Structure 1
Amino acid sequence: MLGDETAKNYEKWCIEELTPVMPVNIPKSKMTLNNIAWVFSKTFYADPEKFNQEVIEYQKRIYTTDENWKPNEIVFDVPELQIQYMCWITKTGDLLENEILIDEDQDVFEKYPDETEHQVEIFARLKADNNKNFTALEFLLKTHNQQANKELGDHVFFEGTDENPQIINELPTCYIACGS
Structure 2
Amino acid sequence: MSFFSKLFGTKSTPQQVNEIKPTAEPVTTAENHSPFTLNHIAWTFSTKFYTDAEEFNQEVIDYQNLIYKTNENWKPNAVVFDVPELQIQYMAWVKGASDLLENETLIEEDRDVFEEEPYEEEDDMYQVELLATFIADNGKHFTALEFLLKTHNQQVNKELGDHVFFEGTDETPTLINDLPTYYIACGS
Per the normalisation by structure 2, the TM-score is 0.78
Alignment-derived partner of residue 120 in structure 1: 128
Alignment-derived partner of residue 69 in structure 1: 74
Alignment-derived partner of residue 42 in structure 1: 47
Alignment-derived partner of residue 177 in structure 1: 185
Unaligned runs of 5+ in 1: 1-26
Instruction: Answer yes or no: is the 8 Å Cα contact 1:158–1:177 preserved in 2.
Output: yes
The letter of the residue matching 2:148 is L
Partner of residue 172 from structure 2, selected from 158, 164, 167: 164
Partner of residue 98 from structure 1, selected from 54, 79, 103: 103
Question: Looking at CA atoms only, which structure, 1 or 2, has the larger radius of gyration?
Answer: 1
* Compared CA separation, residues 176 and 114, structure 1 to 2 (3 A): closer
Q: Deviations over 1:110-139 (max 9, x none)?
A: 133575200000000000000000000000
The runs of 4+ residues in structure 1 deviating greater than 3 Å are 27-31
**d(CA) in 1 for partners of 2:108 and 2:98?**
17
Alignment-derived partner of residue 83 in structure 1: 88
Q: How many residues align?
A: 154
Instruction: Answer yes or no: is the 8 Å Cα contact 1:89–1:150 preserved in 2.
Output: yes
> What do you get for the CA RMSD once the two structures are aligned?
1.6
